[in-house]
Chains A and B, each alone.
Chain A
Amino acid sequence: MDYAFFPGCIAKNVYPGIEKATRIVFEKMNVGLHDYPYSCCPPPGVVACYDKDTWYALGARNLALSEPDNRDIMTICAGCYGTLHNVWHELQHNDAKRAYVNEHLGRIGMTYKGTSRPIHFVDLLDGMRDTITQNKEVDLDLRVAVHYGCHYLKPTTVTGENSESPMLLDEIVGLVGCKSIPFKDRLTCCGAGGGVMSGEPELSLKIMERKLKNIKKADVDCIVNICSFCHMNFDQSQKKLESFDIPVLHLNQLLGLAFGVKHKHLGLHMNLVSTRDLVKKVKGAKKGRDEE
C-alpha cells in the first residue's frame, strides 16, 4: 500500500515527534509514505475564513500533486483533513468552482482532476486492525481520554461519520491494551479552530480549560488525539494554565509505544507537559511482558 503523505505544518514544524512516529509506525505496517512539495493545507481558520476561493485553489494545488502517481493522500491532522476533504468534496460537486481553481492552477502549469482522495489516517487504520495487533509488542494498559477533533467528524454531510457517538478511536486504542475512559462533553471542540486560537487566544484558553477540567476528573494517564492542531492546543494550553499535567499523545505516538519503539524516537520528550511518568509506566508493562 502506498500513500502520498501530508504531514501538515504542526507535525512538521512544531511537534516533529508526530511526523517521526507516523513514519515509523506506517513503515512497520508496510505502508509506503511518499513526500510531495506540499504547502500547508491551507488552514481553515484563517484562509477559509478570510477568503474561501483562495482556500479552494491552494487546497486543490495540494490535492493535485499526487494525481500523476495515482496516490491518495494520507493526513494525520483533523485540520488538514478538514481542508483537503472539504475542498475535494466541493470540487466533486461544484463545476463552477472546479473551473475557477483550474483557471488559477493553469497559471502555474497545473491541473486539478480530483482523482486523488484525501484520507484521514484513522480511517486507514480502521481497515488495518489485524496489522496493528500483529505489530503490537506491549499491551499498554493505560487509561486514556480520546479526542477526535471536530473536522475529522463534521460536517457529517461531507465526512459521513457519526458525530454524536463515534467509536473508531476508542476501538483502536483498545487494540493496544488501552481503555478509553468516558468523560463529560468528550466530543466538544478543544477551542483551537476557526482562527480562535490565533485571533481570540483568551477565549480559546477558556474553552480548553473547561475541557481539561472534565478530563482531569476522569483520572486518565494521557490524552490521545488524531489531530496535530488539537495536540498542540492540549499541550501548550496546559503549560499556560499551569494547573494541569496530563500528557498528550498523538495516536501514532501511542501506537509507536505499543509497537515497542523507544519513546525518544517518538519525540515524547519534546512535549511541554512531561511524559516521564507515562513512559515509566509503559516500560514497566514492557518489562513485565519480557519476564513472562
Chain B
Amino acid sequence: MEKTTELIVKEGNGFACIQCGRCTGSCPSGRECGLRTRRIVHMAKLGMEVYKCDELWDCTTCFTCQERCPKEVKITDIIIELRNLAVKNSFYPTMADVPKIIIQNLYRTGNGQPLSPEVSKLRSIIGLDKEPNDIAKNKAALADFQKLLDGLPLMRWGGI
C-alpha cells in the first residue's frame, strides 16, 4: 500500500516537531554532506514532495536523531518510509545500479552478497565447507524463496 507524505509524518509523530535541530546536530552524515534532517521533517510536514530530494538517500539510518529527538519524532522511520515512497515514484539514489545488483543477487542466490569463487577457496582453506550451508546450497528452499519474492512488492519497485 502506498502511503501519502501526510500519513508518513502522522505515523512518525512528525507533526510534534518543534524544529529545534537536535537531529541535524546529531547527524553523522549531515556533517559530510547536504543532508539536513530537520529540513526533511519540516518539508514533509508542509506536504512538500520531499521524496524527490537526493539528500534522502544520504542517511545511514543510524537512528541517532530519532533517539535524541526531544519530541519523540521517529525521524529515521520517516526517512525510510519516504524512501519507500520515492521508489514507488521512480526516484532512486544516485548510484541506483548498485542496489539493483544487490536485489538481483538476492533473487538469484538468496543473498544480497553472494559467494565468489575466491571466497569459496578461502572458506576451504580455514576448514569451512566450500559453500555455506544456506539457501544458495538448498535448491528447493531457493525455489520457494524466489516464488515468495515473485509475489512481493520489491520486484515491482526494485528497479530491476
Q: Report which A residues bind B (CB closer than 8 A).
A: 7, 9-10, 12-14, 16-17, 19-20, 23, 35-40, 42-54, 57-58, 61, 104-105, 107-110, 150-151, 154-156, 163-164, 185, 188-189, 191-196, 198-201, 203-204, 206-207, 210, 264-267, 270
Among A10, A14, A50, the residue within 8 A (CB) of B99 is A50
**Are B128 and A46 in contact (CB-based, < 8 A)?**
no
CA distance A57 to B144 in the complex (A): 13
**Are B158 and A51 in contact (CB-based, < 8 A)?**
yes
CA distance A32 to B134 in the complex (A): 17
In the complex, chain A residues whose CB is within 8 Å of the CB of B57: 195-196, 199-200
CA distance A7 to B151 in the complex (A): 26
A15 → B minimal CB distance (Å): 9
**Are B62 and A194 in contact (CB-based, < 8 A)?**
yes
In the complex, chain B residues whose CB is within 8 Å of the CB of A35: 133-134
Q: How would residues 124 to 158 of chain B score, 1 for a CB under 8 Å from any chain A CB and 0 otherwise?
A: 00111000111101100110110111011110011
Among B76, B93, B98, B106, the residue within 8 A (CB) of A47 is B106
Within 8 A of A (CB), among B63-101: 63-64, 66-67, 74, 76, 80-81, 83-84, 87, 93-96, 98-99
Q: Which 10 A-B pairs have the closest CB atoms?
A: A199-B93, A154-B63, A194-B61, A54-B154, A37-B141, A189-B62, A39-B110, A9-B113, A37-B138, A150-B62
B84 → A minimal CB distance (Å): 6
In the complex, chain A residues whose CB is within 8 Å of the CB of B115: 12-13
**Are A16 and B128 in contact (CB-based, < 8 A)?**
yes
The main secondary structure of chain A at its interface with chain B is helix
**Are A40 and B111 in contact (CB-based, < 8 A)?**
yes
The main secondary structure of chain B at its interface with chain A is loop
**Are B154 and A51 in contact (CB-based, < 8 A)?**
yes
Q: Report which B residues bind A (CB closer than 8 A).
A: 28-29, 31-33, 57-64, 66-67, 74, 76, 80-81, 83-84, 87, 93-96, 98-99, 102-103, 106, 110-116, 119, 122-123, 126-128, 132-135, 137-138, 141-142, 144-145, 147-149, 151-154, 157-158
**Are B147 and A107 in contact (CB-based, < 8 A)?**
yes
Number of A-B contacts (CB under 8 A): 212
Among B28, B32, B63, B99, the residue within 8 A (CB) of A46 is B99
In the complex, chain B residues whose CB is within 8 Å of the CB of A210: 31-32
Among B122, B126, B135, the residue within 8 A (CB) of A265 is B126
CA distance A23 to B22 in the complex (A): 42
CA distance A266 to B61 in the complex (A): 31
In the complex, chain B residues whose CB is within 8 Å of the CB of A37: 133-135, 137-138, 141-142
**Are B141 and A189 in contact (CB-based, < 8 A)?**
no
In the complex, chain A residues whose CB is within 8 Å of the CB of B87: 49-51
Whether A54 touches B149, Cβ cut-off 8 Å, given contacts A200-B94, A265-B126, A267-B122, is yes
CA distance A20 to B29 in the complex (A): 33
**Are A51 and B84 in contact (CB-based, < 8 A)?**
yes
Among A17, A44, A58, A188, the residue within 8 A (CB) of B61 is A44
In the complex, chain A residues whose CB is within 8 Å of the CB of B62: 150, 154, 188-189, 193-194
In the complex, chain B residues whose CB is within 8 Å of the CB of A7: 132, 134
Find the residue from B81, B110, B134 having the highest chain A CB count within 10 A.
B134
